[in-house]
């Protein structure tokens, strides 16, 4: 018979799996409570870091349709449920793991696919969405400026050519008038 509190915990974890853009499974053995609090602060509002029993997490993952993570649910397991950009959470976890050897990233899940530790590292190496969007906007602006200059060039060349022809005609008519004999 399942206890009501365990059923509620499985339902809550399953909902976290469903509503997350990504999840990162970690092993936290050896981290103190203050270090776990520090990790949660590092993750900020982009992710919710939850310690849970492996059997409950396995059931919740199965309920949520998450596959390929069963091998990761061994030992002291905690999961970062990412609500925002996966890049920010992956960077925070990677940086914290560098400073604290007790935190071990085991793998993750994103877009219906299990992620390896190397793939999470690649995600952490990406620039944030805002930076990528600003770079794209800058590139578009540069291309538009180049296009405007390209379209403007023929018009300005025609204007300079017309001015040169006009000057040439004035000079030609001025020299003809000076060369013509004066009638007396």
CA distances from 5 to 53, 83, 98 (A): 13, 25, 36
CB of 52 within 8 A of CB of 9?
yes
Q: Give the Cα separation of 73 and 27 in Å (integer).
A: 9
Residue 106's H or E segment, with its range, is strand 104-110
Tokens, residue 96:
């914290």
pTM: 0.67
Which pLDDT belongs to residue 124? 84
Question: Is CATH 3.30.70.1730 the classification given to domain 3-126?
Answer: yes
At which residue do the structure tokens 């030609």 appear?
A: 172
CA distances from 11 to 1, 22, 75, 110 (A): 16, 18, 22, 20
Domains of the chain, by residue range, sit at: 3-126, 129-178
For 139-143, which contacts have Cβ atoms below 8 Å and span 24 or more sequence positions?
none
Of 36, 76, 31, nearest to 53 by C-alpha is 76
Please identify every stretch of the chain with a pLDDT value under 50, giving residue numbers as ranges. 1, 184
Which pLDDT belongs to residue 76? 87
Which pLDDT belongs to residue 1? 47
pLDDT in tens, 92-123: 899 998 988 888 999 999 988 888 889 988 88
């Amino acid at each position: 018979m399942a206890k009501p509190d365990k059923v509620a915990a499985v339902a809550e974890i399953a909902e976290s799996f469903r509503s997350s853009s990504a999840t990162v499974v970690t092993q936290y053995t050896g981290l103190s409570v203050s270090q776990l609090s520090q990790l949660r602060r590092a993750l900020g509002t982009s992710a919710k870091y939850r310690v849970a029993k492996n059997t409950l997490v396995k059931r919740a993952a199965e309920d949520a349709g998450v596959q390929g993570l069963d091998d990761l649910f061994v030992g002291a397991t905690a999961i970062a449920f990412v609500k925002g950009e996966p890049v920010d959470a992956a960077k925070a976890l990677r940086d914290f793991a560098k400073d604290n050897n007790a935190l071990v990233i085991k793998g993750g899940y994103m877009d219906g696919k299990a992620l390896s530790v190397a793939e999470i590292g690649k995600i952490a190496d990406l620039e944030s969405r805002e930076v990528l969007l600003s770079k794209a906007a800058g590139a578009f602006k540069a291309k538009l400026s180049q296009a405007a200059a390209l379209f403007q060039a023929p018009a300005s060349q025609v204007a300079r050519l017309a001015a040169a022809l006009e000057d040439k005609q004035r000079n030609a008519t001025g020299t003809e008038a000076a060369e013509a004999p004066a009638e007396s």
